[in-house]
Amino acid sequence: MPQKNNPVKLDGTLLAEKLTEAAKNEVEKLRKKNIVPHLEVILVGNDPASRIYVNNKTKACDKTGIFHNTNLLPENVSNEELLKFIQELNSKKEVNGILVQLPLPPQIKKDKIIDAIDPIKDVDGLHPYNMGLLMAGRQQWNPCTPGGILSIFKEHSIPLEGKNCVIIGRSDIVGKPLSLLLMQQNATVTICHSKTKNIPELLKKADIVCAAIGKAAFVKPDFIEQNTIIIDVGVNRISEEKLVDEIFGKEAPQKETFQKRGSCLCGDVHPQAYTKSSYYTPVPGGVGPMTIATLINNTITAAKVQKNSQ
């Protein structure tokens, strides 16, 4: 008989609210010293999901008192125009953070754009200079999503030292930087990707599984052992009723969402796998809000670092 679990939901929304409140107090203190953290967001085109992400980020700025400005650029903006715009923001002393919402349209060379951001204003932590600092264990702030995950572990006093962490996905935004942060915490890290053989076998040996691949319910319940800690980074929109029924069941709240909106969200981990875990992050409401909370903290840190280097 499998052991009955009582998995703890790692509520990212709640923790993000707590961190936002602390950030608000911090911004108030800074404002008294005439330091106003200032974030410039660049959104290219009309991708509806990107608009929602940007809205959520700017709402969090409003809650904390961070000054922000969203720059909407047309879908057909050229590489040169975008580079020039970033240079302008780089040169403005009052701008502490520059965030270019990804993905970018195909005519834009994403790497060149990220490289153009002044590393001291790169609050997403994606510039190669900041990635290098992270590799050396000398980062001034953490990339947003992995940093948010680390804060979840810290909040719940989940020890990482000596733990066997298996990450699925090796993107520059999630998998790679997360592996470095976990190593900094003395975890033993395995990274899987699309060419990795026997992923279920590797997952079964994990104390902690972090899934960031962008494939709905990829991690099946039989891939993991009882009491594994699950960090589900994936955000996948499902718009096929049969799939909703298969993954969540006909009575699940997700089915209701699907009926109202024509789609619902699903993580990279099958919901039945959560029931075998000791802790898990839900989708939505797990890692997502923590990504934004980390962006807020990074912007505040960037403002302080820039003030100190004047």
- Positions touching ligand NAP (CB under 6 A) are 145, 168-171, 173-175, 192-196, 212-215, 233-236, 287-288, 291
Catalytic annotation on 101?
A: yes
- Concatenating the DSSP letter of every residue in 63-130 gives HHT-EEEEEEE-TT--HHHHHHHHHHHHH-TT--EEEEPSP--TTS-HHHHHHHS-GGG-TT--SHHH
Cα(135)–Cα(131) distance, rounded to whole angstroms? 6
Considering only CA atoms, which of 302, 308, 309, 304 is closest in space to residue 120? Answer: 302
Q: How far is the CB of 3 from ligand NAP (least distance, A)?
A: 28
- The smaller minimum CB distance to ligand NAP, of residues 185 and 236, is found at 236
**Amino acid found at 63:** K
- The smaller minimum CB distance to ligand NAP, of residues 12 and 306, is found at 12
Q: Of the listed 11, 122, 124, 232, which one is catalytic?
A: 124
Q: How far is the CB of 199 from ligand NAP (least distance, A)?
A: 6
Is 60 within 8 Å of 20 (Cβ atoms)? yes
Q: Is 235 annotated as a binding residue?
A: yes
Q: How far is the CB of 33 from ligand NAP (least distance, A)?
A: 31
Q: Is the peptide bond before 74 cis (omega within 30 degrees of 0)?
A: no
In which residue are the tokens 């670092």 written? 305
Distances (CA, A) of 113 to 91, 104, 271: 15, 10, 37
Q: How far is the CB of 25 from ligand NAP (least distance, A)?
A: 24
- The smaller minimum CB distance to ligand NAP, of residues 138 and 197, is found at 197
- The smaller minimum CB distance to ligand NAP, of residues 5 and 13, is found at 13
Helices 175-184 and 144-155: angle between axes, nearest 10 degrees: 40
56: which 2 tokens?
Answer: 């959520």
For residue 250, the SS3 value is coil
Is 177 within 8 Å of 142 (Cβ atoms)? yes
Bridge partner residues of 39 (DSSP)? 68, 97
**Amino acid found at 21:** E
97: which 2 tokens?
Answer: 């953070």
Question: In what helix (H) or strand (E) does residue 3 lie, and over which residues does it extend?
Answer: none
- The smaller minimum CB distance to ligand NAP, of residues 233 and 302, is found at 233
Cα(277)–Cα(288) distance, rounded to whole angstroms? 20
Q: Is 169 annotated as a binding residue?
A: yes
Q: How far is the CB of 259 from ligand NAP (least distance, A)?
A: 23
Catalytic annotation on 222?
A: no
Catalytic annotation on 250?
A: no
Q: How far is the CB of 260 from ligand NAP (least distance, A)?
A: 22
- The smaller minimum CB distance to ligand NAP, of residues 169 and 282, is found at 169
Annotated catalytic sites, by residue?
Answer: 57, 101, 124
Annotated binding site for NADP(+), which residues?
Answer: 169-171, 235
Annotated binding site, which residues?
Answer: 169-171, 235
